[in-house]
Amino acid sequence: MTGSLPPWDAAPVALSLGARLRVVSAAAAAAGVRPGMTVPQARAILGALEVRPWDEPAIRRRVTRATAAFLAASPQVSPVPGAPGTWWVGAAGFDGLGGERRLRAELERIARAWHPDARAAIADSCVAARAATWALPARRIVPPGGDRAFLARAPLSLLPLDDDLRAATAALGLRTIGQLAALEAVALEARFGPAGVAAWRLARGLDDRRPALLAPSADPRVETDLPGPADSLEPVLFLVRAAVDRLARHVAAAQRAIARLDLTLVLEGRTGFLVPAAGERVTRPVVLHRAVARAEPLFEQCRAVLEGWVLERPVTAVAVTVTETAPLPAEQGDLLAPSWRDPAAALAALARLQATLGPGTVLRPVARDEHAPERGGAWVEGREGAPAAAPRASAGDAPRPAALRLLEAPEPVEVEYTSHATCVLWWRGRRWGIAAMTGPERLSGDWWRAPYARDYWRCEREDGVALLVYRDQLREGTWFVQGWWD
């Protein structure tokens, strides 16, 4: 870790939104420039100040990237609205994973990829955790139940107040959060209204923001808010990928594989997962035909579902929940063996194709309990039901039986035969000698829909090809070729 500031923070730079500064660098702040100043005011203090326009899409992309990185440390991550560079992160449930100290160290390690002086702190409330980031490293974990005592000594500047209330408290001579907490709530309400009561509650560590961070889900689940409403899938997919990666590692550590995921989105106009009074959420299942514990095929299945999802409004929050697991498959693929194929990757690719091309484009054959050969199988959607496991061949296996290939429609043939056996077939303008035949097998049925009555024969031509031939008793004994074996 380096102690020097990154180039953009060591230079006198500010980002402006409209006529006022939104963010200033550390170098500009050291010179007295503050967010909220107008550009002329700031340049009167620091003539060398470089002012650049606030780029909301670029800021959101960076915040989303950092949010995804923090999901490696915690399953609950929420960027703070209006404060790019600040995140609320769930810290509950880490007792068996190294505890809060390890979580704080991991968060700082991740954040320092962007800034060497990044700080993380842990407390019962958001207000205390933010204030603790300005404390010495040894005091950045506030003991449970100790938020009010910790805040009492903190400067009032660390409490989120609007400009009018901050000016009023300064005029009253209040310098610490504890001095504000010691006032009577009734008096603050009479003078400053609801904003005064809200500030008083925060000063006592009573913070209603992000209560869900204190109660992680019983199921393996990742929850995160986006930095702003997303009109495209790009930031959603970025966060889902990070969520699936964390869940796959979590489930595999318990010797399990994921059989089903639920994707949940919150749309604009609703609050997020990690804020109070969450509104209606839209959920879609991701059912895996084969349970897997690797992130890449899981993500491709999630991508297929998302790309086929018609969203009415922009997305503001994302959650991924593991709802079904199965024992971790014992079989491990050999990545160096050219003959090895990953079935999960194949299923993920088919899911993407179906999402791109639409219904009825990715099909698979299934057997039907029917006697007529043409009704003994059907093509169904590729994601309907679980596929049968492919047989595993070995050097000592017997040859597989020949497969019956049916024609699109049976084709009439002329037959020359004696009283004992068919000897010649005229089919497709050619004369085929028959070397051997087996039959007849009489099949009939389906009188209620499409009745049939046929005598089936297996006829082996002199060139070795076996044909499926039948005589249709309902069509004046006409002969047909229906298929062949190969």
Task: Provide DSSP, 403-420.
Answer: PEEEEEEEEEEEEEE-SS
What is the spatial distance between Cα 367 and Cα 375, in angstroms, rounded to a whole number? Answer: 9
pLDDT band at 209 (very low <50, low <70, confident <90, very high): confident
Residue with tokens 């209330």: 165
Q: What is the pLDDT of residues 259-286, one digit of tens each?
A: 889 999 998 875 555 554 445 689 999 9
Cα(294)–Cα(247) distance, integer angstroms: 9
Could you tell me the pLDDT band of residue 217, with boundaries at 50, 70 and 90? low
Instruction: Residue count of the chain, please give it.
Output: 486
Place of tokens 């697991």: 325
How much of the chain, in percent, has pLDDT values that exceed 70? Answer: 83
Look at residue 362 and tell me whether its pLDDT is greater than 80.
Answer: no
pLDDT in tens, 18-43: 899 999 998 999 999 998 899 999 99
Looking at residues 115-129, what average pLDDT do you find? 91
CB 348 within 8 A of CB 383: no
Amino acid at 413: V
Strand residue runs (E) in 185-281: 221-230, 256-267
CB of 468 closer than 8 Å to CB of 485:
yes
Strands 50-53 and 363-367: unpaired
Can you tell me the distance from the alpha carbon of 376 to that of 55, in angstroms, rounded to the nearest whole number?
A: 62
pLDDT of residue 117: 87
> How large is the average pLDDT for residues 178-182?
93
- pLDDT for the residue 234: 92
3-state secondary structure (DSSP) of residue 74? coil
Distance CA 252, CA 247 (A): 8
- E strands in 60-149: 76-79, 87-89
Task: State what percent of residues in the chain have pLDDT above 90.
Answer: 44
Confidence (pLDDT) at 405: 86
Residues 263, 302: Cα–Cα separation, whole Å: 8
Q: What pairing do the DSSP bridges indicate for beta strands 87-89 and 315-327?
A: unpaired
Q: How open is the CA angle 25-68-267, to the nearest 5 degrees?
A: 100
Mean pLDDT of 90-116: 84
- Residue type at 188 in one-letter notation: L
pLDDT of residue 372: 87
Mean pLDDT computed over 209-232: 78
pLDDT above 70 for 242: yes
pLDDT category of residue 340 using cuts at 50, 70 and 90: very low
Which tops the pLDDT comparison, 210 or 232? 232
As a whole number of angstroms, the distance between CA 429 and CA 432 comes to: 10
H-helix segments, 204-335? 234-253, 295-307
Q: What per-residue confidence (pLDDT) applies to 388?
A: 46
pLDDT in tens, 302-322: 998 998 888 888 999 999 999
Report whether pLDDT(93) > 90: no
- Cis amide leading into 81 (omega within 30): no
* 298 class by beta-carbon count within 10 Å (0-12 exposed, 13-18 middle, 19+ buried): buried
Dist CA 358 CA 340 (whole Å): 30
Q: Which amino acid belongs to residue 90?
A: G
Within 268-371, strands assigned E span 282-292, 315-327, 363-367
User: With bands split at pLDDT 50, 70 and 90, how would you rate the model's confidence at 365?
Assistant: confident
Beta strands across the sheet bearing 50-53: 20-24, 13-17, 50-53
Taking the C-alpha atoms of 124, 127, 129 and 130 in order, what is their torsion angle to the nearest 10 degrees?
Answer: 170
Q: Which two tokens stand for residue 427?
A: 């089919």
The CATH code for residues 7-54 is 3.40.1170.60
> 201 pLDDT exceeds 90?
yes
Q: How many CB atoms lie within 10 A of CB 305?
A: 17
CATH number assigned to the domain with residue range 221-327, chosen from the 4 options 2.40.160.10, 3.40.30.10, 3.30.1490.100, 3.40.228.10 = 3.30.1490.100
Q: Among 114-123, 158-167, 382-391, name the one with the lowest average pLDDT.
A: 382-391
**Confidence tier at 342 by pLDDT (50, 70, 90):** low
Q: 264: buried, middle or exposed (CB in 10 Å: 19+, 13-18, 0-12)?
A: middle
pLDDT band at 333 (very low <50, low <70, confident <90, very high): low
pLDDT of residue 82: 82
Q: Where are the domains of the chain?
A: 7-54, 57-212, 221-327, 404-485
